[in-house]
Amino acid sequence: MVSLARKNLLEDFSRFLVAQLGITFAVSLVTIQTGLLEGFGRSATLLVNKSQADFWIASSELRYFGLTLPIEYQAVLDAQAVEGVAAAEPLLMQSAMWRRSETEAIDPVQVVGIEPTGTLLPLTTVAGAAPTELEEPYSVIVDRIDLNALSLTALGEQGRVNNYPATVIGWTRGVKSIVSSPYVFTSLETANLYLNFPRFDTSEPVPEFLPLVSPSTRITYVMVKAKPGEDLAKVQERLRAAFPNYQVLSRAALTEMTRRYWLASTSVGFILGLGAGVGMVVGVVIVSQILYSSVSDRLQEYGTLKAMGASDWYLYRIIIEQALWMAVLGYLPGLGLCWGLGMWTMQARAIQIIITPQLALAVFSVTVAMCVSASLLAVQKVMRLDPAQVFRA
């Protein structure tokens, strides 16, 4: 049976190659779409995943990470006083306007204000100054991938955020979300000036000293780290008791909330899922046509086998094995292609195509099911074959 199945599969090599290319395309399309779906979900919560915080305190109006109402800095001080809390740090995040020069158009950016010496949102620069240098007023750090979008070419160049100066002192790498404008990291004090005191008249002098951060200063989140050995569930209960009018979410809960919003409340999940479905349909059609043509060309051979007493199950096994060989030989190059494409997109645009072991196994199962289903369609012609037709003149 094995030799017969392989013989039928490889006898017409050009047809076999066309079939494998079709399966490889289908596997690649399914894998890329599902990998993008997973990567999109992670990209939407990039800063949450990079943080060391166990809990995030936010407004009760929180819709997802990136859409919420401001809270007061006083919440940071209150969180630090809760039993079991090791550290609490503010995060101020809001959209702003970036302009490289007077002659260039404005571009949207996402200003992220952090504690330069904080530990709950660690940043690593690949060039220029370390994040601790953000204590210098009007200094910012951007991701290397966003340099073209911000019309930047070198360290030390200056742009403007909401008409205030912004000097780029460092570059990060891979800190870019595909659902957000370019991140512009700066100190909490500088971000407070950029976002809470917008400058409309550029003829006015730039403040030499930044406004002090007070308990009433507006921020977006409080990042909280529990002490080592503490029961996280109990710490969360204490935080909720201390902040009855706020939301206190674990990192996993905030990630899931954001992922669910983007995939269920927008068209992203539908579009990517539709692409994966199209890939499956393409694969089934191609494999069905190839196997059906192969069966049609060998009807006399199959009829001879039936006349010699071969069972239907024996014929099923021959054609199903061909489908399994096609599945394996189409899956491996398709998966390799996706790995390579994922590495390239991550380096070029920080777009993640995440292929987990579970996803790879799921795509392989889908590929096998796709090819076997196609073979079952093709084998029906053999099952209806009358062996006597083989011996007719």
Per-residue pLDDT tens digits for 294-350: 666 666 676 677 777 777 777 778 778 878 888 888 888 988 888 888 888 877 766
Taking residues 355-368, report their average pLDDT. Answer: 85
Domain that residue 277 falls in: 2-44+267-391
Residues 73 and 100 in one domain: yes
Task: State percent of the chain over pLDDT 70.
Answer: 88
pLDDT, position 2: 46
Residues 296 and 149 in one domain: no
Output the pTM of the full model: 0.79
- Per residue in 118-144, pLDDT (tens digit) is 999 999 998 999 999 999 999 999 999
237: in domain? yes
Share the mean pLDDT of the chain. Answer: 85
Beta strands 246-250 and 127-128, pairing class: unpaired
- Per residue in 139-160, pLDDT (tens digit) is 999 999 888 889 898 999 999 9
End position of a domain, from candidates 229, 244, 259:
244
Kindly report the number of other CB atoms within 10 A of residue 299's CB atom.
Answer: 14
Residues 89 and 238 in one domain: yes
Give the pLDDT band of residue 393 (cuts 50, 70, 90): very low
Beta strands 158-161 and 85-99, pairing class: antiparallel
- Per residue in 68-98, pLDDT (tens digit) is 999 999 999 999 999 999 999 999 999 999 9
Q: Which residues have a Cβ under 8 Å from the Cβ of 238 and sit 6 or more positions away? A: 82, 83, 84
pLDDT, position 208: 83
pLDDT, position 138: 95
Statement: residue 390 has pLDDT above 60: no
Phi, psi for 243 (deg, rounded to 5): -130, 70
Read off the amino acid at residue 124: T
Residue 45 DSSP class: T
Instruction: Return the residue matching tokens 């991550």.
Output: 346
Bin 163: left if φ > 0, else alpha if -120 < ψ < 50, else beta: left
Token pair in block for residue 2 = 């094995």
Residues 78 and 224 in one domain: yes
216: in domain? yes
Taking residues 251-276, report their average pLDDT. Answer: 84
Task: Look at residues 175, 184, 172 and name the one whose alpha carbon lies nearest to residue 129.
Answer: 172
Q: Which residues have a Cβ under 8 Å from the Cβ of 6 and sit 6 or more positions away? A: 325
Which one of 64-68, 246-250, 361-365 scores highest in mean pLDDT?
246-250
Residues 116 and 40 in one domain: no
Statement: residue 54 has pLDDT above 90: yes
Taking residues 193-219, report their average pLDDT. Answer: 87
Residues 65 and 33 in one domain: no
Q: Yes or no: say if 120 and 151 are a contact pair by the CB < 8 Å rule.
A: no
If one counts the domains in the chain, the total is 2
Residues 100 and 23 in one domain: no
pLDDT, position 257: 93
Angle, helix 2-10 to helix 312-349, in steps of 10 degrees: 60
Statement: residue 272 has pLDDT above 90: no
- Per residue in 97-115, pLDDT (tens digit) is 999 877 778 899 999 999 9
Residues 225 and 298 in one domain: no
Residues 197 and 318 in one domain: no
Q: Which residues have a Cβ under 8 Å from the Cβ of 326 and sit 6 or more positions away? A: 9, 19, 20, 23, 287, 290, 371
Tell me which of 298 and 355 has the higher pLDDT. Answer: 355
Break the chain down into helix, strand, coil percent, rounded to 5. Answer: 50, 20, 30
Tell me which of 262 and 377 has the higher pLDDT. Answer: 262
255: in domain? no
317: in domain? yes
Read off the amino acid at residue 148: N
Give the pLDDT band of residue 8 (cuts 50, 70, 90): low
Taking residues 257-284, report their average pLDDT. Answer: 78
249: in domain? no
251: in domain? no
283: in domain? yes
Residues 18 and 108 in one domain: no
370: in domain? yes
Give the pLDDT band of residue 13 (cuts 50, 70, 90): confident
Residues 173 and 280 in one domain: no
Residues 189 and 282 in one domain: no
Residue 217 DSSP class: -
Taking residues 364-377, report their average pLDDT. Answer: 79
Q: Yes or no: say if 257 and 66 are a contact pair by the CB < 8 Å rule.
A: no
Give the pLDDT band of residue 381 (cuts 50, 70, 90): low
